[in-house]
């Protein structure tokens, strides 16, 4: 009997081929959801895109990270106790941004920017379209003192245009600490 294992990058290419056929895009999306959802749950990412605590995650061998991020992922590494960031509020954060790398154990690829390097926090209005959409959606709900990792698909980042050292269609990872809410 042959032992056949299908890896996520193989699935991606198969789904890409299916999606190229007119009328089969929804079939490709359905197959991708069926394949990637169990893998994300095995890594401790719940269906609402928030992480489960490490102690609640499966202790079995984790599945490899998906080659592409299909929706915003929010992983709270430290829950804050202060004021909550809501749409319209002015927030101050420290952040570090990386290109998403599914082969890295922490998914962090090449670092492209950090407010910590400059020593100056970054301020913006949540929902004010002053930052990429992944930030507006990902920072909302954080509380002061909290730390969150955002896994941002390219369509909520810089999309097909890229920016500076960020290539087009790049998925991004940001570690964010919420310092204040006004």
pTM tops 0.75, yes or no: no
Task: Give the per-residue pLDDT at 137.
Answer: 98
Does position 120 have pLDDT exceeding 70, yes or no?
Answer: yes
d(CA 18, CA 23): 9
Q: How far is CA 168 from CA 9, 54, 67, 100, in A?
A: 19, 33, 16, 13
81 pLDDT above the threshold of 90: yes
- pLDDT for position 38: 47
pLDDT digits (tens, 9 = 90+) for 138-168: 999 999 999 999 999 999 999 999 999 999 9
pLDDT, the chain, mean: 79
Give the other-Cβ count within 10 Å of 156's Cβ. Answer: 21
Domain 73-181: assigned CATH number: 3.10.50.40
For residues 37 and 137, the model is more confident at 137
**Is residue 42 classed as helix, strand or coil in its secondary structure?**
helix
Q: Domain spans of the chain?
A: 8-42, 73-181
């Amino acid at each position: 009997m042959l032992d056949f294992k299908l890896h996520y990058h193989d699935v991606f290419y198969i789904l890409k081929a299916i999606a190229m056929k007119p009328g089969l895009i929804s079939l490709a999306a359905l197959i991708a959801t069926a394949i990637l959802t169990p893998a994300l749950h095995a890594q401790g990412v719940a269906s609402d895109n928030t992480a489960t605590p490490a102690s609640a995650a499966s202790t079995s061998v984790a599945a490899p990270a998906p080659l592409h991020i299909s929706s915003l992922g929010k992983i709270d590494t430290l829950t804050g106790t202060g004021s909550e960031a809501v749409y319209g509020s002015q927030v101050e954060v420290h952040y570090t941004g990386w290109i998403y790398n599914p082969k890295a154990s922490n998914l962090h690829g090449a670092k492209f920017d950090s407010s910590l390097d400059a020593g100056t926090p970054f301020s913006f209005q949540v929902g004010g379209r002053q930052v990429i959409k992944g930030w507006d959606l990902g920072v909302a709900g954080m509380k002061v003192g909290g730390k969150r990792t955002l896994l941002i698909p390219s369509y909520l980042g810089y999309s097909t245009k890229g920016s500076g050292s960020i290539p087009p269609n790049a998925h991004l990872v940001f570690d964010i600490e919420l310092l204040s809410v006004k």
